[in-house]
Structure 1
C-alpha cells in the first residue's frame, strides 16, 4: 500500500480525533445504562391511597382510540377519571368516546376551548384537561397507545419507589410493517445515543428525556409551574416540559414501560418518517449548538463506522502486503479500532432494544443497516422547523 498523501493523512488524523472524542462522549452517556432498572411490571391489585386523572387528547382518532379506551377501562384504583379532551373531531371520535363513557362512568368527554395563538394543539388540549383534573397525579396517555391492565397502579408504584415528581415511560412498539422495523429502530437508537438509556440514573436537566405517550406528574407541581404552558409552542412538548420542571428542582425519571404500554405504529413508513421525524431532534428543548453536536455524534459513531470499515477493508485488501511496513499503519489500525468499537456498540444497542418491539423479524435485526437514513432524517429535522401537524397549520408559532 503506498503511503498516504499529506492531505489524506491530515484528513485521517482529523477524522480519528473527531470520532475518538465523540465515541468517548457516547460511552460516558451509555455507561449508567448498565445499572438501569428493569422494565416496570403491571400492578395486579388496586391501591386506594392516591388518585390519578388520565388525560387523552384526540383529534380525528376514531381508528386508533378504541383500544386505548378499552385498556383504560380495565384499570383499577388509583384511576379516578379518564378525561378525553377532543379538539372537535369530525370522524366519529366523539361518538366512540361517548359510547365508552356510557359503559364506564370514569370516562368523560371534554371539548377544549378554541386554540389560542402560540399554542400547539395537543399541548392546549392537555392544558384544558389539567383544568378539569381532580386526581393527585395527572397521567397523559396518547390515543394511539394500548395500556396494559395494571398500568396506572404500576406508574404510581414506580414514581414513588424512586421518589420522582415527574416520570414518563418508553413503550413497546407493535404492529409495525417490516419497512418500519427496518428504519424506526435506527431512529430510536439516535435518541439513546443523544440522551442515554431509559431507566438509568437521572441525567442533568438539559439531557432529560421524556415520552408524552405515557407521562405522569403531580398535579400540584404542574399547577405551581404554569401547567403545560412552558411547552405551549413546543413540537417536543414532553421533553420541553420535563426539562423545564427538572431545571426548577423536580425529580424527573424516564423508565422502561415496555411491559405496561404498547404503541400501535403509524400506518406506513412514510407517515412515520414525516410525523415522528418532525420532532425527534428535540429542537424546542435543546439549544441549537448542542443539537448540531448531537447530529455530528450520530453521524460519527452510528452512521459512518460501517461504510468506513468497508472502505478501509477494501483498501487494505488491495495493499495488504505492504500495510505492515507502511508509515501510515498506525493510523489505519487506530481508525479500525475506533470504528470497530463503534460498530460493536451499535450491534449491542440492537440487542438491548429488542424488548421495545413486540414483533422483530429479519428487518429489525438488520435495522442497523439503515443508520445512514436515520442520521439523514435527524439532520433534516434539525435544519427545518415544521409548520403543521395532524392537519393543523401552526405558522404563528415562535421559533
Structure 2
C-alpha cells in the first residue's frame, strides 16, 4: 500500500513539473501590440492599500495608460487618501460607485461600472491589494500577442503574515500547478479547463464587450473563473500565466480575513457539490496528511520507505513554492495545510447547505 502511495506521489511530482515548464512566465520581453490601456481598480474600505497601490501603478512604464478607481461606498478613509495620492496626476480618475442592485455581487458590479468609464483598447482589472512591476503591461501584451489570446490572467506572488494565511493562501498556486492541465487550458478553449485570478485580469476590450463584460457573471462569487469560461465559450483563448515575478498580492492581514475570504469561494468553486467536496477532502487527507503520519510511524518501524511519501510531498510543494516566489521553508506546512483545507471546505459546504450565506466586506451573499 505504501509503495502504491509512493508511485502516485512520484507521478504527481512529474505532472507538476510538466505544468511548471509549460506555463508562460512574465519576464522581460518585447511585443508589437499597441493601444491605450485602462487600469481599472475597485476599492471598498481599502484605506490600508491606497498608498501602496497608487505608488506601484504610477511606476508602470507603458506610455499610454489611464487609471480609473472606483470607491465602492467606503466608510473609512479610502476617498480621502485617493484624493491625496492621485492629486496632480492626470492619468488618474476617481469615481464613486452606485448602490448595489439586487442580484449583483459587489465586486462584479464595481468592475462593470469601471468598464463603462475606461476608454482603453485593453482593460486591466486589478484588486486594491495588488502591487505590480513597471513593465507588467508590456509583459501582458507579449503573452497575449504570442498566444493569440484575448485574456491574460494569473495567480500573483502571495506574501502572507497570518498563520492561517500561510496554510491556505499559497494553496492557490498548488491547485493550478498540480490539478490544472495547463497545456489544455492555454492551448484550447474548453471551458472545463479554466482557472483565473480576479486580482489580475488583462482583457482585450473587444472580446470583453463581445461576451457582455462583467454583466454576464453579475451574480457569481467566482466571477474571475466564470468570465474566463464565457470567453472560452465564445471561442476566445485565455492564457493562464505565471505572473508572480511581476505581480504581488497582499491578500489578507488577519486570520479572520483569510477564513472569510476563502469560505465564500471554495465550495462555490467546486460547483456546490457535496460529492466533489468529499472527494477533494479525502484526496488531500490521504495524499498530503497521511504521509506525515507515516513519517511519525517510522520512529517505530525503522523502515525508510515510510519516510518517502512525506519527502515527495515536500518536493512537489517546494517546486511550486520556488516558481511562485514563496518563502523558502513554506513547503514544510503542506500536511497541515491539507487539514486546514478540509476544515475550510466542510465549513463552506455547511454554510451553503444551511443557507447561512457568506459575509464579505459588510455584505452577505447566498
- TM-score class, shorter-chain normalisation, is 0.7 to 0.9
Residue equivalent to 1:356: 324
Displacement of 1:216: 1.1
Q: Is the 8 A contact 1:168 1:210 kept in 2?
A: yes
Q: Does 1:380 align with 2:347?
A: yes
Q: 1:34, 1:86 → 2: CA distance?
A: 37
3-state SS, counterpart of residue 303 of structure 1: helix
3-state SS, counterpart of residue 54 of structure 1: strand
Specify every segment of 5 or more residues in structure 2 that has no aligned partner in the other structure, as ranges: none
Q: Is the 8 A contact 1:151 1:260 kept in 2?
A: yes
Residue in structure 2 matching 1:392, options 340, 356, 363: 363
Q: 1:344, 1:150 → 2: CA distance?
A: 36
Residue equivalent to 2:264: 278
3-state SS, counterpart of residue 220 of structure 2: coil
Q: Is the 8 A contact 2:321 2:328 kept in 1?
A: no
Q: 2:80, 2:60 → 1: CA distance?
A: 22
Please give the residue correspondences for 1:111-260 in structure 2 after superposition, counting only pairs within 5 Å: 111-174=96-159, 176-177=161-162, 180-186=165-171, 188-196=173-181, 201-202=186-187, 204-260=190-246
Displacement of 1:160: 1.2
Displacement of 1:139: 0.8
Q: 1:199 to 1:175 in 2, by over 3 A?
A: farther
Q: 1:110 to 1:75 in 2, by over 3 A?
A: same
Q: Is the 8 A contact 1:140 1:214 kept in 2?
A: yes
3-state SS, counterpart of residue 87 of structure 2: helix
Q: Give the aligned length.
A: 360
Specify every segment of 5 or more residues in structure 1 that has no aligned partner in the other structure, as ranges: 1-11, 321-332
Q: 1:296 to 1:217 in 2, by over 3 A?
A: farther
Displacement of 1:244: 2.4
Displacement of 1:120: 0.7
| Larger CA deviation: 52-61 vs 280-289 | 280-289
Displacement of 1:28: 8.5
Residue equivalent to 1:299: 285
Q: Is the 8 A contact 1:190 1:298 kept in 2?
A: no
Residue equivalent to 1:367: 333
Q: Is the 8 A contact 2:264 2:348 kept in 1?
A: yes
| Larger CA deviation: 197-206 vs 109-118 | 197-206
What is the TM-score with the length of structure 1 in the denominator? 0.77
Please give the residue correspondences for 1:14-29 in structure 2 after superposition, counting only pairs within 5 Å: none
CA RMSD of aligned residues (A): 3.5
Q: 1:72 to 1:238 in 2, by over 3 A?
A: same
Q: Is the 8 A contact 1:57 1:126 kept in 2?
A: yes
Q: Does 1:60 align with 2:28?
A: no
Q: 2:257, 2:183 → 1: CA distance?
A: 25
| Larger CA deviation: 86-95 vs 197-206 | 197-206
Q: 2:69, 2:350 → 1: CA distance?
A: 34
Please give the residue correspondences for 1:37-56 in structure 2 after superposition, counting only pairs within 5 Å: 37=23, 39-41=25-27, 49-56=34-41
Name the larger-Rg structure: 1
Residue equivalent to 1:3: none
Q: 1:50, 1:308 → 2: CA distance?
A: 57
Residue equivalent to 2:82: 97
Deviations 1:306-338 (A, max 9, x none): 324544x46745xx8xxxxxxxxxxxx9xx69x
Deviations 1:140-173 (A, max 9, x none): 1000011111112221122112221112122112
Displacement of 1:114: 1.4
Q: Is the 8 A contact 2:44 2:71 kept in 1?
A: yes
Q: 1:198 to 1:227 in 2, by over 3 A?
A: same
Q: Is the 8 A contact 1:46 1:77 kept in 2?
A: no
3-state SS, counterpart of residue 353 of structure 1: helix
